[in-house]
Every structure is written in C-alpha cells, then in structure tokens.
Chains A and B, each alone.
Chain A
C-alpha cells in the first residue's frame, strides 16, 4: 500500500472517504484537535464504553429492551 496511492471519493456535503474506506472527515476533525484533546477524546470513548459495560450508564435513545 503506497502512501500516495489512495484516492478519495466525494460523497454528500463535505464528507468524503478514501477508496479504501477510511473516513477522511474524521481524520480532518481529529487533526484540528491538540494532542491533549486527542488523548481526552480517546479517554472519553474508553470511559463511556467502560461505564456502559459495567451498567454505570444507560444508553440514550431507542427503546428499553423487553
């Protein structure tokens, strides 16, 4: 896989994906953050999954399971 070989695919609005499926809009957003903010985003994701998994937080939206 060459560094300069991936071609991007324009989709609706400003979002676009690379030909290999990589979400370029997500990278674009992440690059606007500082390293501290990037690490905090990763930590937030882990904390949220951890809390959901351990029943410390209820998923928002959708119906309650029967």
Chain B
C-alpha cells in the first residue's frame, strides 16, 4: 500500500480527529531531509476524539500490521487501552500513539507544536526540540539513526 500522506491527513481532518503529527513526517514538515514510510500521530484520548478516530480508521479500512497476516481491526476498546497501534490503511501505513517518548501524552505536548499549512490543510506538528527529546527518550536504533540530521536541522534553523 503506497503511502499517501496528504490524503491520510485530509481524512483525519475531515473527521476532526485531534492529533499531533510526530515521528518522521513531523521531522520532514519541520525541515529535516529524511525519509519515512509511515505517518505517526499522537491522538487526544478523550472518548469523543477516539470515536472520531474510530470512524476515520473505518473509512480508510485500517487494520493492524499483523505478522501472522490476520485481519485485526482497531476497535474502540483497543483504541482506549493500547499505547501504540501499528496500522495499515488504504492510504498507507499509519501509527496511532497515545504516548510518545517516556510517556508524554497529547496534553503534555500540544504546547510544543507548530500549526503548519500543508496543501489546503492546517496541521499540528511537534516541534523539532521536542521531537529530538522524544527520540532520545525512545532510544531505539531507528531513532538514533536520524538524530544527527534532526539536531543539525534544529541548529541551522536556530542560526537562520
């Protein structure tokens, strides 16, 4: 399934899902020249927002990226209880998170975001400082691999 970032973001917007773009796409929008295949979003976990998210995920035919090949759908109960949902949708891979780094949630990070115009959409993006912080906290190989580029990008933005 080829990722189609803008169309996936448009679906989230049309369903009024409160979310922050985090991960690789956030880095790209903030100016870091990296590549990624999935869209990572941190969602607000109010019941109303999870309902909106559930409707959106149904519309884009979301199911879990299950190594055994089973068709598992993100039910309301799963959305409430799990911290990370690695999904495949008709518009590409989508990771839905309720926490990032060492347990930061939507309310903790919403003040560390920028509103960015992307096409006709206005999206909320985690700023580079916090993105670097969460990647350092996560400390996985894939996080460590992009950290030098994120750090240099932040440094060059600050110098501009």
Please pick, from A21, A24, A34, the residue contacting B156 in the complex, using a CB distance under 8 A: A24
Q: Please give me the 8 A-B residue pairs with the lowest Cβ-Cβ distance, nearest first.
A: A30-B33, A35-B116, A35-B29, A31-B31, A22-B152, A26-B33, A50-B2, A20-B148
Contacts across chains A and B counted by CB atoms under 8 Å: 78
Residue interface mask A5-39, B partner, CB < 8 A = 1: 01000000000001011111011111101111011
Contact check, A27 vs B37: say whether CB atoms are below 8 A apart: no
Question: How many residues on the B side are at the interface (Cβ–Cβ under 8 A)?
Answer: 32
Question: Does A57 interact with chain B (Cβ within 8 Å)?
Answer: no
Determine which residue in A1, A21, A38 has the highest number of CB atoms from chain B within 10 A of its CB, and name it. Answer: A38
B residues apposed to A, CB below 8 Å: 2-6, 25, 28-33, 35-37, 116-119, 125, 132, 147-149, 151-157, 160
Give the bracket for the number of chain A residues in contact with chain B.
20 to 34
Contact check, A3 vs B6: say whether CB atoms are below 8 A apart: no
What chain A residues lie within 8 Å of B33 (beta carbons)? Answer: 23, 26-27, 29-30
Distance in angstroms from A66 CB to nearest chain B CB is: 30
Contact check, B35 vs A27: say whether CB atoms are below 8 A apart: no
Distance of A46 Cα from B39 Cα, bound (Å) = 13
Known: A24-B156, A27-B32, A42-B35. A35 touches B5 (CB 8 A): no
